[in-house]
Amino acid sequence: MSGCELEFPGGIGIRPSHCVFLHDSKTITVAPLQSNARVFVDGRVIFNPTPLHHGSRVVLGCCTLVFNVIWPEDKVGRKYVVVVVSNS
């Protein structure tokens, strides 16, 4: 492992240091780490940190990985992040 928390070797268009997901208690954002690292949020290419919302769809590379963000709440209103990953 190269210091990354997630690695996707062999992903089409995925760079060794592609993007970063940042999470605090209220928001989750995604930001590309290189100018040639293609990151799409809800069908639009992004170049800067972009907030994600319930139902956001994140695509890395050339339609290689698709993330769907889900923000369920428990009974006392605490939000949890669930990210569903699929190869496309």
- In the chain, where the domains are located: 19-87
Q: What is the pLDDT of residues 15-24, one digit of tens each?
A: 878 888 887 7
- Residue tagged 């590309």 (tokens): 32
CA distances to 27, 51, 81 from 23, rounded to whole Å, are: 6, 10, 9
Q: What is the pLDDT of residues 57-87, one digit of tens each?
A: 888 887 656 777 776 665 555 555 555 455 4
CATH of 19-87, one of 3.40.50.2000, 3.40.50.9100, 1.10.1660.10, 2.60.200.20: 2.60.200.20
Q: What is the pLDDT of residues 43-55, one digit of tens each?
A: 999 999 999 887 7
| Interatomic CA distance for residues 18 and 2, integer angstroms | 12
